[in-house]
């Protein structure tokens, strides 16, 4: 074989291998799209040599199926063969999903050093800075983003959130940034919601109601805006309107102690004592230890002339005003968590929650610690489900985490054939 034939043979061999790998990647994509990711990974794992593209594809599949450790391993192997900012960013996302925010920040900073025009990544980094309590870094980055694109409402909204969490010193600035957001996007529900609360806090009644109504116009089924409307109407002594929006909340299946208690108070103001009692009783089924409910029922019974029932409810109300020691148990639990004493932490969080069944942080930490400590994951599952049932509107970040955790746990139980009661 002469030199020209040898060269041609090598070229044809390379073309054949490239086409073969392209074909495997295409088949793997098809298998993954149909849900058979295991077969896709098996096919990709058998490809030799393990090229950059093949390694990246495996990393992507592992990342999408929440196996972040394996995704990280494969992305690193791919990057050892070829530099790629896109793959490096995927590596950062895997670290973040795994819970290693500091590693993600380092990777994002390295990418932006080489690609400073990547505004999307800058925005992701700014939000990550905020979550990791690097608020000054986040502010600097968001201000630079505004200089680059002054029309993006998201930048102003994130700044508003940061200043809102700074307390009194940042309160007015937060309102201005939420207003800046709204000016750039009049359908930005999150900023409209924040402005409703902002104006309520500074007691601008008209502005409060204007933004509540704007939110309801955009999303009539919003739990948040219906709650605000009901609350504000009650505060303004517009009890018929209060009932309208409480009934909407009930139709939306938002049957919480908040709605039932406000129903009871509203009917009491309207002198519809039968309905007032009915809703107070419904509220008690949600939390039979709520001292304020027994107090309100006591007032109701007093108005109706049933002094014995009034006396009994006032006494129960006093009995339920327990010492506020749930916070101490909660803090003890956090300390025991830090000391890796999970069993003690579980006991502390349980006592905290038993002492104050409205302490949603205690229930959340109880679920988390139980998930880490017990082999039987159904214990943690029940705590997570209770949290979602009782406190889904309490903290949006925790609710989002719990929802995702439950989805993953149920998926794992299904894969393992574990039956959940």
Percent of the chain whose predicted confidence (pLDDT) is above 70: 90
Tell whether 7 and 107 lie within a shared domain: yes
Domain span at 121: 116-219
Tell whether 298 and 341 lie within a shared domain: no
Tokens describing residue 255 = 């049957």
CATH code: domain of residue 281: 1.25.40.10
Query: Can you give the pLDDT at residue 34?
Result: 66
Q: Which of 36-40, 119-123, 186-190, 372-376 has the lowest mean pLDDT?
A: 36-40
What pLDDT digit, counting tens, does each position of 72-91 carry?
Answer: 999 999 999 999 999 999 99
Rounded Cα distance, 78 and 63, in Å: 14
Residue with tokens 């039968």: 274
Tell whether 251 and 168 lie within a shared domain: no
Tell whether 154 and 90 lie within a shared domain: no
Tell whether 165 and 251 lie within a shared domain: no
Q: Is 307 exposed, middle or buried (0-12, 13-18, 19+ CB in 10 A)?
A: exposed
What pLDDT digit, counting tens, does each position of 345-369 carry?
Answer: 999 999 999 888 889 999 999 999 9
For the chain, first and last CA: distance in Å?
72
Tell whether 139 and 88 lie within a shared domain: no
What pLDDT digit, counting tens, does each position of 37-68 carry?
Answer: 788 888 888 888 899 989 999 999 999 999 99
User: Which of 114, 131, 151 is the last residue in one of the domains?
Assistant: 114
Rounded Cα distance, 362 and 243, in Å: 33
DSSP string, 256-321: -HHHHHHHHHHHHHTT-HHHHHHHHHHHHHH-TT-HHHHHHHHHHHHHTT-HHHHHHHHHHHHHT-
Rounded Cα distance, 218 and 235, in Å: 24
What pLDDT digit, counting tens, does each position of 4-26 carry?
Answer: 544 444 443 444 444 445 667 66
228 occurs within a structural domain: no
Tell whether 1 and 69 lie within a shared domain: yes
Tell whether 205 and 245 lie within a shared domain: no
Number of domains in the chain: 4
For the cut 60, the answer to whether the pLDDT of residue 148 exceeds it is yes
User: Which of 321, 346, 367 is the last residue in one of the domains?
Assistant: 321
Rounded Cα distance, 160 and 143, in Å: 12
User: Can you tell me the mean pLDDT for 377-402?
Assistant: 91
Rounded Cα distance, 351 and 190, in Å: 35
Tokens describing residue 136 = 């000054």
Omega of the bond prior to 49 within 30 degrees of 0, cis?
yes
Rounded Cα distance, 252 and 216, in Å: 14
Tell whether 203 and 262 lie within a shared domain: no
User: Which of 267, 291, 321 is the last residue in one of the domains?
Assistant: 321
Tell whether 178 and 246 lie within a shared domain: no
226 occurs within a structural domain: no
Tell whether 136 and 206 lie within a shared domain: yes
Tell whether 2 and 109 lie within a shared domain: yes
User: Can you tell me the mean pLDDT for 311-337?
Assistant: 84
Is this structure's pTM higher than 0.75? no
18 occurs within a structural domain: yes
What rounded mean pLDDT belongs to the chain? 89
What pLDDT digit, counting tens, does each position of 168-219 carry?
Answer: 889 999 999 999 999 999 999 999 999 999 999 999 999 999 999 999 999 9
């Amino acid at each position: 074989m002469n030199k020209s034939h040898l060269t041609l043979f090598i070229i044809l061999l390379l073309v054949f291998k490239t086409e073969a790998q392209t074909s495997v990647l295409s088949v793997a994509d098809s298998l993954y799209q149909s849900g058979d990711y295991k077969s896709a990974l098996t096919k990709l794992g058998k490809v030799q040599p393990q090229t950059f593209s093949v390694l990246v594809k495996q990393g992507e599949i592992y990342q999408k199926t929440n196996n972040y450790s394996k995704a990280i391993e494969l992305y690193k192997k791919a990057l050892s063969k070829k530099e790629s900012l896109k793959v490096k960013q995927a590596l950062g996302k895997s670290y973040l999903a795994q819970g290693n925010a500091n590693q993600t920040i380092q990777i994002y900073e390295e990418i932006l050093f080489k690609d400073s025009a990547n505004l999307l990544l800058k925005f992701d980094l700014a939000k990550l800075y905020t979550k990791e309590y690097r608020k000054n870094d986040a502010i600097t980055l968001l201000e630079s983003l505004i200089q680059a694109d002054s029309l993006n409402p998201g930048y102003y909204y994130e700044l508003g959130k940061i200043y809102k969490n700074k307390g009194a010193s940042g309160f007015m600035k937060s309102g201005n940034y939420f207003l800046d957001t709204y000016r750039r996007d009049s359908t930005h529900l999150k900023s409209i919601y924040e402005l409703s609360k902002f104006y309520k806090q500074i007691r601008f009644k008209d502005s409060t109601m204007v933004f509540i109504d704007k939110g309801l116009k955009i999303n009539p089924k919003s739990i948040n805006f219906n709650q605000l409307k009901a609350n504000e109407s009650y505060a303004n002594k517009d009890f018929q309107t209060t009932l309208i929006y409480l009934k909407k909340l009930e139709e939306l299946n938002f049957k919480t102690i908040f709605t039932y208690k406000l129903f009871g108070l509203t009917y009491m103001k309207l002198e519809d004592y039968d309905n007032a009692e009915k809703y107070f009783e419904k509220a008690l089924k949600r939390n039979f230890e709520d001292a304020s409910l027994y107090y309100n029922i006591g007032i109701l019974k007093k108005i109706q002339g049933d002094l014995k029932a009034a006396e009994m409810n006032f006494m129960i109300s006093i009995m339920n005003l327990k010492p506020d020691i749930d916070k101490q148990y909660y803090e003890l639990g956090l300390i025991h968590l830090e000391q890796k004493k999970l069993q003690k932490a579980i006991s502390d969080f349980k006592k905290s929650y038993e002492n104050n069944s409205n302490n949603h942080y205690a229930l959340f930490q109880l679920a988390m610690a139980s998930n880490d400590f017990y082999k039987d994951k159904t214990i943690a599952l029940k705590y997570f489900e209770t949290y979602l049932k009782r406190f889904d509107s309490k903290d949006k970040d925790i609710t989002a985490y719990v929802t995702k955790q439950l989805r993953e746990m149920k998926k794992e139980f299904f894969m393992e054939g574990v039956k959940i009661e």
